[in-house]
Structure 1
Amino acid sequence: MKFKLLCSDLDGTLLSTKSDVSKYTISQIGRIKQAARIILVSAGMPNGMYYIQRDLGILDQPIISYNGALVLDGAKELLSVTIPLNVVKEIHEVCEEHSTDLGLYAYNEWHVPKTSERVEKEIKYTKTNPVFQPTLNTLEQWATKKSGIHKIMLMGTKSTADALMPILQEKFENEINLYRSNDTLIEIAPKSVSKLTAIQKLLHSGELLQDVIAFGDNYNDIEMLTHVGWGVAVSNGREEVKQIANFITSSNTENGVAQYIEQHLLI
């Protein structure tokens, strides 16, 4: 099979550990990168993606960050969609009632009210550092800059996440998309964007979604894998993701993406 774009999620998919791509993956991407554009697609911030691009030798390609809310080609902004600050303030009020902190992301800024085990993990795995300050202070600063927010990460417990999901879905159904990253984390993106809409933004004239192969593992990858030409799930992915995939490859720790490239993608 031949494709013009190869789009891959990072954490749990392309990354063999929490923060690195293997030499095997680097070699397989290197084998095909002249024949297909390699696009990294992540829920994370740009600064947490550039070092992976560098390792793969694809710094000349665009990146899709924040689940499609921000698309960059080097320093050039191709797409930026944000959550309005008034909506973020309302979400903050709801979350305060459930003892849940907000991680706020805009471009390459990451703000959290305090450190925690989750925040320390994020620092380690993304190789980026947050600004520590109260959430309302951050919102006041960004209001002055007239900056919206590309992503919100809600960091609580399983019980608080269970409680918040239906409340947020009902109250803000027209403003945001919600993704359950795991039992304790909820990611919030602008309503109008997804990984799929960002991929569509990167299609060149004459290219179709059928020309795209994509790899993923989590709920926020389902739409992307369903609508591209060929969707591949890693075996460690969510059951719902594997059910809609065209193919299931090995796990991320077994270099499933690289295995698939070597066995199925000819140039």
Structure 2
Amino acid sequence: MKFKVLCSDLDGTLLSSKNNVSDFTITEIQRIKKAIRVILVSARMPRSMTYLQRNLGIEDQPMICYNGALILEGKKELSSTVMTIDHLDEVYDLSESLGIKLGLYHKDEWYVEDNTERVRKEIHHTQSTPIFRDTLESIKDWKNRQIGAHKIMLMGTEVATDTAFSQLEKQLGRQLHIYRSNETLIELSPKSISKLSAIQMLLKEGETLDDVIAFGDNYNDMEMIQHVGHGVAVANAREELKLIANSVTLKNTEDGVAHFIKQHIII
């Protein structure tokens, strides 16, 4: 297989552990990076991705953050799309009624109220630390600064997030992407963007989506996997994703992306 661009999701896909890539993955990316552009595509904030770029030796490449809501090339901002404060107010009211906590993200800013077990896991997984303060204070601050959220994370019990997901689909489904990360987490991002739209924005002259190979594991990877030249799901991916992928590789914990690159990508 020959491609011009390789795009990969991080958590559950390229990362073999909760917060890093394996030596095998680094070796394979190093092998192909002069011939193929390697672009990281994630729901993460920038500072939770730059250390991975550095480890992989691809700091010269752009990266797609927040599922496409923020695209950076080094410190240069190529594209930024945020949710409005009105949307944030509506999400806050719903979350408060259900006892759900919010994580608010704007560029490299991350705000939460409490140092919960879920937040501590996120700190470990992403190698980033949030600012702890009352969510209403964060919303007031953002209103004063006239900024919106690149991502909103809802953290609650399985029962509460089930209810929230259904309500969010009814209230904001036409304005926002609403992803179920797992049983207790919901991620929100602007409707006008996606991982696929961000990849399309980064294509150079003479490149098309047919020149792209992409790897993923979750619902927010489905559009990307379905429409690039070759979409690959890891074995631990959602069944819905595996059904639409061109190929299925090993689990992320078994270095599935690196194994697929070694076996199928010829330089």
Secondary structure at the aligned position of 1:110 is classed as strand
Alpha-carbon separation, structure 2, partners of 1:30 and 1:88: 41
The Cα of 1:31 is off from its aligned counterpart by 0.4
The Cα of 1:206 is off from its aligned counterpart by 1.9
The Cα of 1:115 is off from its aligned counterpart by 1.3
Partner in structure 2 of residue 185 of structure 1: 185
Alpha-carbon separation, structure 2, partners of 1:90 and 1:249: 40
Query: What are the residue-to-residue correspondences of 1:47-66 with 2, within 5 Å?
Result: 47-66=47-66
Alpha-carbon separation, structure 1, partners of 2:104 and 2:95: 13
Query: What are the residue-to-residue correspondences of 1:218-237 with 2, within 5 Å?
Result: 218-237=218-237
1:203 partnered with 2:214:
no
The Cα of 1:95 is off from its aligned counterpart by 0.9
Query: What are the residue-to-residue correspondences of 1:1-267 with 2, within 5 Å?
Result: 1-267=1-267
Secondary structure at the aligned position of 2:262 is classed as helix
Secondary structure at the aligned position of 2:243 is classed as helix
* Residues 89-115 of structure 1: CA deviation (Å, up to 9, x unaligned): 111001111000110000000000111
Secondary structure at the aligned position of 1:16 is classed as coil
The Cα of 1:145 is off from its aligned counterpart by 1.3
Alpha-carbon separation, structure 2, partners of 1:19 and 1:87: 31
Alpha-carbon separation, structure 2, partners of 1:27 and 1:140: 46
* Residues 38-82 of structure 1: CA deviation (Å, up to 9, x unaligned): 000001100000110000000000000101100000111111000
Alpha-carbon separation, structure 2, partners of 1:210 and 1:63: 20
The letter of the residue matching 1:27 is: T
Alpha-carbon separation, structure 1, partners of 2:151 and 2:70: 10
The Cα of 1:174 is off from its aligned counterpart by 2.3
Alpha-carbon separation, structure 1, partners of 2:154 and 2:253: 27
Structure 1 residue ranges, 4+ long, deviating more than 2 angstroms after superposition: none
Secondary structure at the aligned position of 2:20 is classed as coil
The Cα of 1:35 is off from its aligned counterpart by 0.5
The Cα of 1:175 is off from its aligned counterpart by 1.6
Report percent identity of matched pairs. 55
Alpha-carbon separation, structure 2, partners of 1:134 and 1:96: 12
Secondary structure at the aligned position of 2:146 is classed as coil
Scaled by the length of structure 1, what TM-score is found?
0.99
Alpha-carbon separation, structure 2, partners of 1:142 and 1:148: 7
Alpha-carbon separation, structure 2, partners of 1:47 and 1:226: 28
* Residues 169-213 of structure 1: CA deviation (Å, up to 9, x unaligned): 110122211000000000000010110011011001121100100
The Cα of 1:129 is off from its aligned counterpart by 0.6
Q: Any stretches of 5+ residues in structure 2 without a counterpart?
A: none
Alpha-carbon separation, structure 2, partners of 1:225 and 1:202: 16
* Residues 205-236 of structure 1: CA deviation (Å, up to 9, x unaligned): 12110010000000100000000000000001
The Cα of 1:263 is off from its aligned counterpart by 0.2
The letter of the residue matching 2:31 is: R
* Residues 2-51 of structure 1: CA deviation (Å, up to 9, x unaligned): 11110000000000000010000000000000001000000110000011
Alignment RMSD (CA, Å): 0.6
